[in-house]
Structures are given as C-alpha cells and as structure tokens.
Amino acid sequence: MESYQKELNPNTRVLMGPGPSDAHPRVLKAMSTPLIGHLDPQFLEVMDDIKVMTQKTFQTKNHLTFVVSAPGSAGMETCLVNLLEPGDEALICVNGVFGNRMSDIVERCGAKLVRIDAPWGEAIHPDQVKEALKTCKPKIVAIVHAETSTGVLQPLEEISKLTHNAGALFVVDAVTSYCGTELKVDDWGIDAIYTGSQKCLSAPPGLSPVSFSERAVAALDNRKTKVQSWFLDLTMVKNYWAGAKRAYHHTGPVSAMFALREALRLVLEEGLENRFARHSATHELLKEGLEPLGFEFLVKEGYRLPMLNAVKLPEGLDDVATRSRLLNEYNIEVGGGLGDFAGKIWRIGLMGNSSTANHVNQLTGALKAII
C-alpha cells in the first residue's frame, strides 16, 4: 500500500522546539467546528472577538489590530511592505536570523537598508541605535523582541524613545515573546508589531496577529506608491477586518480562526501576568534540570527568553544523534542551532501549552537516561 493510501496517524509528539507548541484540547476541538462562510455574520462576530482579544493581549487600543491570514513571516512582511516605499531609509537591528530576514525584505521594498549588528547571543545596545541615528534619517527602526535563533530577550523601551525622538516609526517582531513575557504595545510606543499563532499562544501555525498605531496608519495613508504586495496591502485588508461593510478581500482561514479565538480565550482566562509568571517558573525549572547534566545557557542572565532556551551542548554529546533519540524513543522534539550555532546549541521551547513542569521533567528524565 502506498503511503498516501493510509489514514494519517502521526505519532503524538511532546513539542519542545522553537514552534509549534502543544495545542490545548479546547483549541483542537474549536478547530474541528463545522465550517461556515468567511463572510457569514457569525464568522464576522468571530473576527470581532479575535480583534478585541488581540488588542487585550497586545495591551493596545490600536484600531488597526487584526490577524494576517498567513504565518509570522507574512506578519513581518505586512509591516515592512506597508510602511516602506522605494527610497525610504530603514534602520534594522540584527542579532540573529530574523533581523537578517527583515533586512532582506527592506531591500526587496527598494528601501535603503542601514544595519546595526550585535553578536548572536547578545542584545542590541541602545547606544548602537543612538550612534546610527546620527548618520541616517530612517522612516522606521525595526528590532526583534525575542530572537528565536539565539534565545535573546531584547529590552525595547529605551530604543523606542530614541526612535521617536528621531521621528521614526518603531517596528517590533514579537513572534516568540507574545503571550509569554511582558509586552506593552501602547506603553512602549510600538508603532507596528507582528507575531505568530503557534508559539506562546499555542494555536495552529498559519496566522499572524498584527497591530498598527495611528502614526503608522498615517504613514500608510500618505504613501505615494502602491504597496508592492497585493495580498498584504493594508489599504484593502483593513476594510475586511475593520471596515463598516466588511469588504471582501480574501477567503479567511475559518477553522484556523476558530482555533485562534479559543487560544486567545485561554490566555485571558489564565491572565497575562499569571501566564508570564508560569513561563518564568518553567524556565527556572529547566535551568535546574539541565545545568547538572552539563548544559550551559548561551545568553547571559537578564537577557534570556523564558520560552526559548538556547543551551550549549555538553562536551562529547552528539547533537543530531541525541535529538533523534529524543524524538524516536521518547517522542520529544527539541530544536537544533541555526547558522554558526548549528551542532553547538539546542533551542528548547517552553511555550504556551508546552510550558509546564511535566514537559521539563519528561525532557530531563529522558536526557538522564540517554546520557
């Protein structure tokens, strides 16, 4: 029998990589709700619910807050292609894979790229931004709040002030930090932000919540050229999400939206502060379990992501062979390193529904048996 002729029945995994994370049973149940049309009045109510809960979880009153019908990378592209026009300057802070990805998109927009680089595993220092702003006049300054490739948590408030003092818009990648650690869009002066559904939110991959301040919307309204992407053009998309008549733009992913609505409900039921505290506590438990086994954290304390733990492998531990054993013998997924860190670090996700003591204990117990 050919593989495709068999009923789909993959192994149940314990998801502790860089994403996706384990989904709550309520989320999976919501995703199996019978389909309705993407312009059905009941689905428009679902969209309204999602918008309100996304505002609450972003801690913003931004009217233009919605969900892009595509993964977090499309959220990144939505922010950049709508705010940048050919000839604009963009100051991009790079300390990992996703700062590099933003830089690539900036150049594809025909904008002038100005980079600030920090070593992978370290945060961008505000003084670097301050110095760069003396030599350029950017329309946006963009930075990654939680660098998934390195496990760095980036402080934002001081860089936000520098950005606004220079007359620029502050753009933030919160794909991994959203719903897992403190994130205050309005209080921190974030003008455009994007995230993903599959990390600390613990919904299925494929959706990207975004939010734009009034300053960002004004920049969009004052564009002199068309947005280079039809699908991501906010001048049209916003009429589907926020327009009085809900103008058709595309067929929304109905089942994924049902799941997202339930995932957001779970976040608000738990409470943001309680959720942040849970992620921190689970991170500390992982540290207590891994360090006696010879693992060392890549990032210094104070800048570590609680939900994405980058750890150096003990001397003599084979990266691929050990991760294969974890997956094949214990059904546990952890992530390997990227770029220069390939084969040298693991990226252990404790995100959303995967951020529990039970997840940590399963991993450390399996590692003790293997090592």
Give the model confidence (pLDDT) of 83-112 as tens digits.
999 999 999 999 999 999 999 999 999 999
Give the whole-angstrom CA distance, residue 310 versus residue 96: 12
Residue pair 163/170 in contact by the 8 Å Cβ criterion? yes
Q: Supply 314's token pair.
A: 């003990």
- Any idea which fold 25-267 has? Aspartate Aminotransferase; domain 2 (3.40.640)
Residues contacting 66, CB < 8 A, separation 6+ = 47, 50, 51, 54, 209, 210, 237, 238, 241, 242
Predicted local distance difference test score (pLDDT) of residue 246:
78
Chain segment 293-329, per-residue pLDDT in tens: 999 999 999 999 999 999 999 999 999 999 999 999 9
How far, in Å, are 81, 251, 335 from residue 235 at the CA level?
A: 12, 17, 38
Mean pLDDT of the chain: 96
Question: Is the Cβ–Cβ distance between 54 and 67 less than 8 Å?
Answer: yes
pLDDT for 241 beyond 90: no
Largest Cα separation within the chain, whole Å, is 66
Percent helix, percent strand, percent coil in the chain, to nearest 5: 40, 15, 40
Q: What is the pTM of this model?
A: 0.97
CA–CA dist 326, 43 (Å, integer): 41
The first and second tokens of residue 225, run together, are: 């050229």
Q: Is 315 strand, coil or helix?
A: coil
Fold match, 3-20+272-370 / 25-267:
no
Q: Judge whether 364 and 193 are in contact, CB under 8 Å.
A: no
Q: Where are the domains of the chain?
A: 3-20+272-370, 25-267
Radius of gyration of the chain (CA): 21
User: Domain 3-20+272-370 is in which class?
Assistant: alpha beta
Mean pLDDT of 130-159: 98
